[in-house]
């Protein structure tokens, strides 16, 4: 990350890591889990409800020492939530009436002017954007994403708030106007501006785009502000609304521990009524984001429970689980540990960072995370690297780490995790052998044919090789990226990422293949977007050889 914040450790998430910062490191941390999933499969069979429901269909579950990440299930629903959903599914009621009653009850519980339940935080972002574009006019609503003839078609976003989550906003068809300073924002706001979207920040933030500053700019032009606080704890009264936000969006299935497929919107009633109009069961762009009576009442139950939960007692329990793991692994020579207690609102859980010198234990944090993710019992946790040192022609980590996050662990998980982590770290290992010398040179221009699940594409790679190391450029369907990689013998691994332009979605490409003459083939790993295949052929240039005559004057005929 380019920004180092107080309490951060080099190469690790800072104490008050925001949703955006976790997203920036998320692909790298998720890779061991994604790559290893296939090797941890159980034997498939008929679905059998019970403690081994996932194993019954051939899926080996994981112990969640990672956090409220959607890709591993988010959070665990509270008993009160499951009871409300079970009761709701037994009876029928009109959904508009339910939404109105829940909106009023959320107002009473939170102090916000109104509340709404959506089918996840991203759906909530989409519905609020539609509300700000249409103003509740259904003739406009049913034309989305074709915004021709509409007045409000732009959303202004600080560059620092651009993430893949804003795709929910772009789904409405709006134009994103990205700004780099408050002055640029003030100049960008005009009659076509539907709203301002920004990731949440902490009170007193030194960012030029802190909410108070943005609220002053927006108020002067009567522009609503949508704040994305998906992974945050719920504050009552909502701190972001008090600081000037118009609507705040939360994930229902993260800190609040409501239904995983629910989101919570709090804020101005007129906008949230238009957002509900843009949501299912009403037809239009939100019909595909259906939230049922079960999720709606389950989300309300989660908020009802939030105001009664003993949050201090939960925190002490989480710390006790980390202490179990800490005591177990601290006995290993060369291990350092640190318990971190964040004070911010986002991803608020204590965590245990376990670090060591990989040149002494002969294993990296990424290796440990992959072992834990792919062998039973499976454990999902974060890995990180610290400072770098250079030896020979290769850079190595002077410190590496794993991080255990406590809040989604279940009773008993601490003992299992302590034994598994200790078992992996305590193994005696030999130093990793030096890289094998390359047997081929891949320098040059390569044409790659890509096979996705149901389509094909052509990419071009321009590579330079220096011993075991490769650098170059990667031309995809839509952009040209920098590429880096390595080669051992004839085995090549290459990676490219979306350039750091903060443009929202990012797709990593990791090519791994065997070179045979002028050909190469193998799989492509694309992080959360799963896998593809490629075959590559070294580009053949024209063999035409003739003198080229440069004219001495302009042509006399065309």
pLDDT tens string 141-151? 999 999 999 99
- Which phi-psi region, left, alpha or beta, contains residue 412 (left: φ > 0; alpha: ψ -120 to 50)? left
pLDDT band at 205 (very low <50, low <70, confident <90, very high): confident
Residue-wise pLDDT for 81-121, tens only, equals: 999 999 999 999 999 999 999 999 999 999 999 999 999 99
Place of tokens 């350092």: 336
Mean pLDDT along residues 367-390: 86
- Of residues 445 and 8, more confidence is placed in 445
Token pair listed for 70: 């959607």
| Pick from 16-20, 119-123, 155-159: least confident | 16-20
Q: Say if residues 381 and 418 touch (Cβ distance below 8 Å).
A: no
Q: Does domain 79-306 have CATH number 3.40.640.10?
A: yes
Mean pLDDT along residues 247-258: 97
Mean pLDDT along residues 449-468: 97
| Helix/strand/coil for 117 | strand
Q: What is the DSSP string of 51-116?
A: TTHHHHBT---EEE-S-S-GGGT--PPPHHHHHHHHHHTTS---HHHHHHHHHHHHHHHH--SEEE
Q: Is the pLDDT of residue 495 over 70?
A: yes
What is the distance of C-alpha 301 from the center of its chain?
27
Q: Is the pLDDT of residue 3 over 50?
A: no
Q: Indicate yes or no: pTM above 0.85.
A: yes
- Rounded CA-CA distance 257/397 in Å is 37
**What is the per-residue pLDDT for 2?**
33
**What is the per-residue pLDDT for 29?**
42
Q: Is the pLDDT of residue 23 over 70?
A: no
Q: Does domain 19-60+311-425 have CATH number 3.90.1150?
A: yes
**To 5 degrees, how large is the angle CA 465–CA 468–CA 469?**
55
Mean pLDDT along residues 493-517: 85
What is the overall mean pLDDT for the chain? 90
Q: Does domain 444-538 have CATH number 3.40.50.150?
A: no
pLDDT band at 394 (very low <50, low <70, confident <90, very high): low
Place of tokens 């989660």: 302
Residue-wise pLDDT for 171-190, tens only, equals: 999 999 999 999 999 999 99
| Helix/strand/coil for 301 | helix
**What is the per-residue pLDDT for 396?**
60
Q: What is the DSSP string of 447-508?
A: EEEEE-SS-EEEEEEEEEEETTEEEEEEE-SS-EEEEEEEEEBTEEEEEE---SS--S----
- Rounded CA-CA distance 511/31 in Å is 14
Mean pLDDT along residues 335-341: 96
Residues with Cβ within 8 Å of residue 31, at least 6 apart in sequence: 366, 525, 527
**To 5 degrees, how large is the angle CA 27–CA 29–CA 35?**
80
- Rounded CA-CA distance 6/167 in Å is 30
**What is the per-residue pLDDT for 558?**
79
Place of tokens 């007193």: 204
Candidates 454, 455, 438, 459; CA nearest to 514 is 438
Structural domain boundaries in the chain: 19-60+311-425, 79-306, 444-538
Token pair listed for 428: 């005696």
- Rounded CA-CA distance 416/528 in Å is 27
**What is the per-residue pLDDT for 1?**
30
Residue-wise pLDDT for 258-303, tens only, equals: 999 999 999 999 999 999 999 999 999 999 999 999 999 999 999 9
């Amino acid at each position: 990350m380019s920004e180092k914040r107080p309490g951060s450790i080099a190469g690790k998430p800072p104490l008050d890591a925001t949703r955006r910062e976790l997203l920036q490191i998320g692909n790298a941390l998720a890779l061991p889990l994604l790559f290893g999933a296939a090797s941890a499969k159980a034997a498939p069979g008929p679905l059998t409800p019970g403690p081994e429901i996932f194993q019954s269909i051939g899926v080996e579950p994981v112990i969640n020492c990672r956090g409220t990440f959607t890709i591993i299930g988010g959070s665990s629903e509270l008993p009160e939530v499951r009871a409300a959903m079970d009761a709701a599914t037994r009876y029928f009621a009109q959904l508009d009436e339910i939404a109105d009653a829940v909106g009023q009850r959320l107002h009473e519980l939170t102090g916000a002017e109104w509340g709404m339940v959506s089918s996840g935080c991203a759906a909530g972002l989409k519905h609020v954007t539609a509300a700000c574009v249409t103003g509740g006019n259904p003739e406009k609503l049913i034309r989305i994403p074709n915004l021709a003839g509409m007045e409000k078609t732009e959303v202004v976003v600080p560059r620092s708030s651009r993430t893949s989550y804003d795709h929910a906003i772009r789904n409405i068809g709006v134009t994103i106007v990205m700004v780099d300073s408050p002055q640029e924002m003030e100049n960008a706001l005009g009659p076509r501006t539907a709203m301002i979207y920004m990731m949440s920040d902490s009170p007193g933030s030194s960012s030029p785009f802190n909410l108070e500053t943005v609220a002053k700019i927006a108020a002067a032009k009567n522009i609503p502000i949508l704040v994305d606080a998906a992974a945050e704890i719920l504050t009552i009264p909502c701190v972001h609304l008090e600081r000037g936000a118009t609507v705040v969006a939360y994930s229902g299935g993260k800190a609040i521990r409501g239904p995983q497929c629910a989101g919570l919107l709090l804020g101005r009633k007129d906008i949230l009524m238009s957002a509900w109009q843009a949501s299912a069961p009403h037809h239009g762009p939100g019909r595909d984001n259906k939230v049922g009576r079960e999720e709606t009442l389950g989300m309300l139950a989660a908020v009802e429970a939030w105001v009664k939960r003993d949050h201090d007692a939960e925190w002490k329990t989480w710390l006790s689980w980390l202490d179990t793991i800490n005591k177990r692994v601290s006995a290993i020579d060369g291990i350092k540990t640190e318990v971190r207690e964040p004070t911010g609102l986002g991803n608020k859980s204590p965590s245990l960072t376990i670090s060591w010198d990989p040149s002494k234990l002969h294993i990296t944090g990424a290796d440990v995370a992959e072992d834990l993710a792919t062998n039973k019992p499976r454990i999902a946790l974060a890995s990180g690297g610290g400072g770098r040192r250079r030896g020979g022609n290769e850079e190595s980590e002077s410190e590496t780490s794993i991080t255990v996050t406590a809040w989604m662990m279940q009773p008993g998980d601490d003992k299992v995790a302590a034994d598994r982590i200790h078992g992996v770290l305590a193994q005696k290992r030999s130093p990793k052998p030096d890289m094998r010398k390359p047997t081929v040179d891949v320098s040059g221009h390569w044409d790659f044919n890509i096979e996705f699940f149901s389509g094909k594409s052509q990419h071009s790679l321009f590579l330079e090789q220096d011993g075991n190391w490769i650098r170059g450029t990667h031309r995809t369907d839509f952009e040209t990226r920098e590429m880096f990689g390595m080669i051992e013998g004839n085995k090549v691994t290459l990676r490219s990422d979306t350039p750091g332009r903060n443009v929202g979605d990012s797709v990593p490409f990791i090519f791994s293949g065997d070179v045979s003459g002028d050909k190469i083939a193998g799989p492509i790993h694309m992080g959360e977007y799963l896998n593809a295949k490629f075959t590559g052929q070294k580009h053949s240039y024209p063999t035409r050889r003739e003198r080229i005559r440069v004219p001495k004057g302009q042509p006399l005929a065309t």
